């Protein structure tokens, strides 16, 4: 029985997990695909490095092209990361008729449509389940599970680092700075955490999910991004008092063929399932026109959860190879992209204002909202012994982004408002 031969680009955390699963689950894999799956060659930075898994040194190479151009290799599994250095390998592999499995969210967010078009041209598979939400099979679900439905909304926690930070701030009342240091010490956050905490990692994942969910080509610059570095423990305290958790949510919505995609700290009602997703876990909520509301939950990162998604993609490629149907399920975006204007983007909003503590202030503030046709769901004045100013909390009904921008601009020149302390989207 001829084995299917795999070239593995990268032997870091995920690559090691892939080797563990393929070596340890040979009997299961063979029963699923009808032949052995054999890792033929592995790209590493240093072939002489001591490793914690048994690997034949003869399979290691420091030259990626040796793997890409090997005619014996059927499938390339890319878990090395990077964009500029990796893209040429992937395109060359597809040119040579090799199928590709990748965990590279940056590559797929920036160059996904080009790579998928190349795959379709050469009748190759490109699978990238592990690029979003680790072990959660959300990409296959969007492509296959929702193929007969029309997705209206995708909302999710797709970055474990920021969810860990916000969870610790909520549960322990700790500051953002203190929890970030702890996350770095535990290895949940990078030494330079910018990509995670400023929402860039989540934005790349949401570009991929929105492209698949709405069948249109969503670029990274189409995502409105705001991170969590401005979230204070006071914000979280007020949110909890009102019945909300603060989560960094990716939100993609469709209405009348127009779409919007954002990543932002959001106040989520306790009763919404996403509010109870804590620690480094991820969750993706999908609202279909026919199926209604569904949610997918699980480990968003880590060696074995992510490697499990990679190997599941590898199994899918090999099954297609046996059936002779590679390249037939490639989802190339086909809908025209129509982005919502600021007038069309609408949501509920939370505002925390520091204002002069005197009569008539509230009337002036509510007059500004009325002027721009923003209706209020609740208004609450909170005593704060540490603040000589009055603190007013306002939650609006659904209001357009354009109207809210006008309200906030007006507040800048309203003398009784000392400071607009916080503004958050509200969900649930």
Please report whether residue 411 resides in a domain: yes
Same domain? For 274 and 164 the reply is yes
Which pLDDT score is estimated for 133? 85
Strand 281-288 with 292-299, pairing: antiparallel
Q: At residue 399, does pLDDT exceed 80?
A: yes
Banded pLDDT at 1 (limits 50, 70, 90)? confident
Same domain? For 151 and 268 the reply is yes
What are 382-396's pLDDT values in tens digits? Answer: 766 677 788 999 999
Same domain? For 198 and 218 the reply is yes
Catalytic residue among 98, 105, 168, 205: 205
Which pLDDT score is estimated for 250? 98
Task: Using DSSP, state whether 249 is helix, strand or coil.
Answer: strand
Which pLDDT score is estimated for 128? 94
Please report whether residue 333 resides in a domain: no
Q: At residue 359, does pLDDT exceed 90?
A: no
Residues 149-155 have a mean pLDDT of 96
| C-beta separation of 350 from 426 below 8 A | yes
Same domain? For 201 and 291 the reply is yes
Nearest partner of 10 among 67, 52, 93, 73, judged by Cα: 67
Same domain? For 239 and 351 the reply is no
CATH number of the domain that residue 64 is part of? 3.40.50.720
Which pLDDT score is estimated for 301? 76
Same domain? For 286 and 163 the reply is yes
Please report whether residue 191 resides in a domain: yes
Which pLDDT score is estimated for 289? 95
Please report whether residue 331 resides in a domain: no
CATH number of the domain that residue 214 is part of? 3.30.360.10
Same domain? For 93 and 144 the reply is no
Which pLDDT score is estimated for 334? 83
Please report whether residue 328 resides in a domain: no
Q: Which domain holds residue 364?
A: 346-427
Question: Is 205 one of the annotated active-site residues of the chain?
Answer: yes
Residue with the larger pLDDT of the pair 381 and 320: 320
CATH number of the domain that residue 389 is part of? 3.30.70.260
Which of 288, 323, 358 is the last residue before a domain boundary?
323
Contacting residues for 145 by C-beta, under 8 A, at least 6 apart: none
Joined together, the tokens standing for residue 394 give 């306002």
Residues 316-329 have a mean pLDDT of 87
Cα–Cα–Cα angle for 261, 265, 271, nearest 5°?
100
Please report whether residue 394 resides in a domain: yes
Percent of the chain at pLDDT > 90 equals 82
Residues 183-205 have a mean pLDDT of 92
Whole-prediction pTM: 0.91
| Tally of domains in the chain | 3
Q: At residue 58, does pLDDT exceed 80?
A: yes
Residues 125-142 have a mean pLDDT of 90
Same domain? For 109 and 194 the reply is no
């Amino acid at each position: 029985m001829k084995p299917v031969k795999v070239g593995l680009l990268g032997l870091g955390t995920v690559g090691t997990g892939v080797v563990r699963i393929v070596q340890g689950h040979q009997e299961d894999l063979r029963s699923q695909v009808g032949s052995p799956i054999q890792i033929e060659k592995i790209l590493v930075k240093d072939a002489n490095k001591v490793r914690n898994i048994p690997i034949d040194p003869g399979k290691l190479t420091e030259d990626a092209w040796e793997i890409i151009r090997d005619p014996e290799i059927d499938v390339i599994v890319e878990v090395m990361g990077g964009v500029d250095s990796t893209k040429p390998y992937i395109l060359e592999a597809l040119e040579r008729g090799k199928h590709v499995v990748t965990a590279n969210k940056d590559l797929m967010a920036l160059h996904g449509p080009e790579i998928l078009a190349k795959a379709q041209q050469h009748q190759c598979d490109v699978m990238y389940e592990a690029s979003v939400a680790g072990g959660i099979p959300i990409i296959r679900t969007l492509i296959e599970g929702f193929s007969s439905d029309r997705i209206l909304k995708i909302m999710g926690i797709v970055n474990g680092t920021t969810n860990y930070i916000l969870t610790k701030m909520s549960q322990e009342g700790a500051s953002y700075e203190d929890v970030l240091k702890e996350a770095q010490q535990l290895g949940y956050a990078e030494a330079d955490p910018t990509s995670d905490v400023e929402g860039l990692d989540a934005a790349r994942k949401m570009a991929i999910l929105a492209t698949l969910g709405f069948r249109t080509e969503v670029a990274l610059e189409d995502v409105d991004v705001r991170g969590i570095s401005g979230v204070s423990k006071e914000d979280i305290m007020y949110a909890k008092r009102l019945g909300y958790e603060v989560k960094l949510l990716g939100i993609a919505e469709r209405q009348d063929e127009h779409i919007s995609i954002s990543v932002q700290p959001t106040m989520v009602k306790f009763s919404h399932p996403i509010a109870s997703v804590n620690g480094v876990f991820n969750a993706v909520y999908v609202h279909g026109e026919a199926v209604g509301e569904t949610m997918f939950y699980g480990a968003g990162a880590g060696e074995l959860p992510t490697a499990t998604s990679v190997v599941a993609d590898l199994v899918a490629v090999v099954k297609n190879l046996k059936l002779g149907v590679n390249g037939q399920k490639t989802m190339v975006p086909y809908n025209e992209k129509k982005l919502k204007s600021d007038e069309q983007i609408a949501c509920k909003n939370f505002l925390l204002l520091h204002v002069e503590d005197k009569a008539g202030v509230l009337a002036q503030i509510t007059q500004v909202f009325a002027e721009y046709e923003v209706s209020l769901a609740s208004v609450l004045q909170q005593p704060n012994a540490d603040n000589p100013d009055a603190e007013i909390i306002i939650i609006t009904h659904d209001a357009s982004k354009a109207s809210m921008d006008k309200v906030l601009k007006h507040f800048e020149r309203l003398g009784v408002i000392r400071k607009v302390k916080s503004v958050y989207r509200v969900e649930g």
